[in-house]
């Protein structure tokens, strides 16, 4: 799939600026990392890095003992690109997550947004 672009950053920042987007849940599994916000969710199949209370954690294709639940109920402040392969989401608390994508034939990250009419809205990287 593709690397991240400025369009996905704009879409996310539109969501973050219009209405508070709290983290409703975090799901860790051997096949993926899923972060659910109020209006959309992000399914990550590559690495996810987090800075939680100043300590760095990494999810990489398997559950681990990082305190991922501490991201629950945190409100997203903004999204930015650290590079074409790393999208960062900063929270009001100062914590952040960095989501990695890679160019390959398989999807690395799937953004699921609310449907428009009868159409599903997804961005796949």
What pLDDT sits at residue 65?
83
64: confidence class by pLDDT, cuts 50, 70, 90: confident
How many structural domains is the chain composed of?
A: 1
Place of tokens 């398997």: 62
In a domain, 42, yes or no: yes
In a domain, 101, yes or no: yes
In a domain, 39, yes or no: yes
In a domain, 118, yes or no: no
pLDDT in tens, 77-112: 999 999 999 999 999 999 999 999 999 999 999 999
* Containing structural domain, residue 61: 6-113
Query: Is the pLDDT confidence value at 120 over 80?
Result: yes
Query: Is the pLDDT confidence value at 48 over 80?
Result: yes
Positive/negative CA dihedral, 2, 50, 47, 76: negative
Asked whether 87 and 98 are in contact (CB, 8 A), the reply is yes
In a domain, 77, yes or no: yes
CA 32 to CA 30: how far, in whole Å?
6
For the chain, the average pLDDT equals 95
What pLDDT sits at residue 29?
86
User: What distances in angstroms separate CA 86 from CA 19, 54, 63, 125, one per listed residue?
Assistant: 24, 19, 20, 11
In a domain, 25, yes or no: yes
In a domain, 54, yes or no: yes
């Amino acid at each position: 799939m593709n690397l991240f672009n400025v369009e996905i950053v704009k879409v996310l920042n539109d969501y973050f600026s219009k209405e508070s987007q709290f983290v409703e849940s975090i799901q860790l599994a051997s096949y993926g990392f899923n972060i659910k916000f109020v209006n959309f969710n992000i399914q990550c199949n590559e690495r996810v890095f987090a800075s939680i209370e100043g300590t760095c954690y990494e999810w990489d294709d398997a559950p681990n003992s990082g305190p991922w639940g501490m991201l629950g109920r945190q409100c997203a402040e903004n999204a930015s690109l650290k590079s074409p392969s790393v999208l960062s989401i900063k929270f009001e608390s100062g914590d952040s997550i960095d989501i990695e994508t890679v160019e390959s034939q398989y999807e690395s990250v799937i953004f699921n947004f609310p449907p428009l009419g009868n159409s599903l809205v997804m961005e796949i990287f």
